[in-house]
Amino acid sequence: MTRSIVPLVVFFLIGCCLVCAVHATQVMYQTPQQMGAQSALLVRGKVLSTESYWNASHTKIFTRTQIAVDETYKGPDQPAIDIIQIGGTVDKVKVTVQGALQWEPGEEVLLFAEPYDAASYQVSGFSQGKFGIERDPKTGVAFVNAPPLEGTALVGAPGADSMTRPGKSEKVTLEQFVNRALGRR
């Protein structure tokens, strides 16, 4: 009787793992250096606002996040940019995309971005191109903080590396991070 239960338990556990994997958005892993080479824009700024809206045909909900640009490292200088992503809440309708970015007004961010349309951008690598900025309270020195990508499965991600999200990361100053990402060393 025990022998007949073991295959059932194994089958059940495999099924549970597959169900868990379905709830994640899968994206190809990109290093900061890859995003630095491929992105049209690399900026540091602060989140001003977010607004969700229906598309023209009323079939999808998108969220527009406005970023006040403080510094441009790559791409055209602009005082502000709009970031568009799918998902959001309009009236009582909520569309959730696993792994979609969350934005907080006043949050300081470093963004790798690519054109979405003529007037706005999307974050590079689905959500991999958003990095939080943390400042030392005594010196004001900016450090890059890569938040966990909850709900996102990074396909092809390596093990530990000081500039990647999958492994433990060292504390890297904003200047060091940008220089590495843009191949300036």
Q: Residue written as tokens 């970031």?
A: 83
CATH code matching the domain that covers 25-181, chosen among 2.30.30, 1.10.260, 2.40.50, 2.40.390 = 2.40.50
Q: Residue written as tokens 């200047």?
A: 175
Q: What global pTM score does this model have?
A: 0.76
> Count of alpha carbons within 13 Å of 180, Cβ hemisphere only?
12
What pLDDT sits at residue 26? Answer: 67
Task: Report the pLDDT averaged over residues 55-79.
Answer: 97
CB 32 within 8 A of CB 144: no
Average pLDDT in the chain: 82
Residue 22 above 50 pLDDT?
Answer: no
Distance between CA 30 and CA 129 in Å, rounded?
9
Domain-wise residue ranges, the chain = 25-181
Determine whether 83 is exposed, middle or buried from the number of CB atoms within 10 Å of its CB (0-12, 13-18, 19+). Answer: buried
Residue 152 above 70 pLDDT?
Answer: no
CB 123 within 8 A of CB 64: no
Distances (CA, A) of 76 to 25, 109, 115, 132: 31, 18, 12, 21
Which range (31-40, 87-96, 140-149) has the least confidence?
A: 140-149
